[in-house]
Amino acid sequence: MFRTMLGGKIHRATVTEADLNYVGSITVDLDLLDAAGICANEKVAIVNNNNGERFETYTIPGERGSGVVCLNGAAARLVQKGDIVIIMSYVMLSEPEIQSYEPKVVLVDENNKIRDVITYEPPHTVL
């Protein structure tokens, strides 16, 4: 049996742009993608903390160190510049793999610079 588990997460990133006229996807600073273990063109789920929207798209690598988090295409209608989002990827793991697997949770500051990378989320904690 396989289970779908959190693979990588960029926690509380700030949307820097929303480009309705782009083909689609989310452009994310490559430093953030790498730290979270999220690949270019990988499917991700996005949660907008400001309005509760939840949606899926795929990633496009943005310039390293730029802090860019830009929603493109139709997804641009679901966010505004300055919104706080959580970007998550998922992996399929077998039961034995689950025992030793640790997701990568990237904590960022208000400029989308990496503060820390952790492998767990403490319960009842605001990160």
> Residue 64: its pLDDT value, please?
98
Residue that the structure tokens 């966010």 belong to: 79
Q: What is the band of 120 on the pLDDT scale with cuts at 50, 70, 90? A: confident
The structure's pTM equals: 0.94
127 domain-assigned:
no
Range of the domain at 59: 2-118
Among 87, 14, 25, residue whose Cα is nearest residue 54: 87
Whole-angstrom distance, CA of residue 71 vs CA of residue 88: 14
44 domain-assigned:
yes
Question: Average pLDDT in the 94-116 region?
Answer: 96
Please tell me the total count of domains within the chain: 1
123 domain-assigned:
no
Active site residues: 25, 58
List, in sequence order, every beta strand (DSSP E) within the chain.
2-14, 17-19, 25-29, 43-48, 54-62, 69-72, 84-94, 104-108, 114-118
Which residues fall in the annotated binding site for substrate? 57, 73-75
> Residue 24: its pLDDT value, please?
78
Query: In this structure, what CATH number is given to the domain that contains residue 105?
Result: 2.40.40.20
19 domain-assigned:
yes
70 domain-assigned:
yes
> Residue 23: its pLDDT value, please?
81
